[in-house]
């Protein structure tokens, strides 16, 4: 996917399409680096790749955490709105 192939549709309610796309891209990146890691015989390069993989996994966790925060905030707002309308 080219860098400019993604455009946010700004339909953020319970989630964020941009963060979901970032999550998809980071996950694909980790899979790629894991395949490269498995093929590599050089301890120096394997160590380097392992560090990249760990960093990308941390990014995935951060994205998931933010998506969970967005979802929880949305649910709280829905609860407030429903308390006034019901």
Tens-place pLDDT, residues 39-80 = 999 999 999 999 999 999 999 999 999 999 988 877 666 566
Residue 77 is predicted with a pLDDT of 62
Task: Record the pTM.
Answer: 0.74
> What range does the domain containing 25 cover?
18-85
The reported pLDDT for the residue numbered 3 is 57
In a domain, 4, yes or no: no
Report if residue 3 sits inside a domain: no
Mean pLDDT of the chain: 85
55 in a domain, yes or no? Answer: yes
User: Does some domain include residue 44?
Assistant: yes
pLDDT band at 16 (very low <50, low <70, confident <90, very high): confident
Domains held by the chain: number: 1
Dist. CA 70–CA 73, nearest whole Å: 5
**For residue 64, is it within any domain?**
yes
pLDDT given at position 1? 47
């Amino acid at each position: 996917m080219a860098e400019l192939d993604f455009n946010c549709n700004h339909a953020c309610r319970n989630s964020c399409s941009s963060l979901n796309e970032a999550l998809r891209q980071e996950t694909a990146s980790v899979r790629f680096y894991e395949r490269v890691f498995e093929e590599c015989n050089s301890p120096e390069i394997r160590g380097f790749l392992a560090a990249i993989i760990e960093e990308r996994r941390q990014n995935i966790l951060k994205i998931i955490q933010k998506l969970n925060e967005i979802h929880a905030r949305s649910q709280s707002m829905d609860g407030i709105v429903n308390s006034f309308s019901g």
